[in-house]
Amino acid sequence: MSEPVRTCIGCRGRASAGELIRVVAVSGPDGPPRVVVDDRHRLPGRGAWLHADPRCRESARKKNAFRRALRISGALEESLG
């Protein structure tokens, strides 16, 4: 069985979806949208994929990759859990 291959937004490395975590932007009742981890790959909306590695998160944050990948133009709360 071939799993879909995704690109990590942190290091740009390619891996199967099962090796990466999916994050989506969820808008709260107040404040900017927030990045949350979609453990079960079920949350609706545009997702971004990255390794469960703090370095990939940090690098994605530095490059503004969350906002680009999730198509958020304004503020985005990027602290993951």
- Report in angstroms how near the CB of residue 28 gets to Zn ion at its nearest: 27
Any idea what DSSP says for residue 4? P
Query: For residues 72 and 66, is the Cβ–Cβ distance under 8 A?
Result: yes
- Report in angstroms how near the CB of residue 72 gets to Zn ion at its nearest: 20
- 10 in contact with Zn ion (CB under 5 A): yes
Measured CA distances, 5 to 14, 28, 81 (Å): 7, 30, 25
- 80 in contact with Zn ion (CB under 5 A): no
Tokens standing for 56? 């990939």
- 69 in contact with Zn ion (CB under 5 A): no
Question: Binder to Zn ion among 25, 35, 48, 56 (CB under 5 A)?
Answer: 56
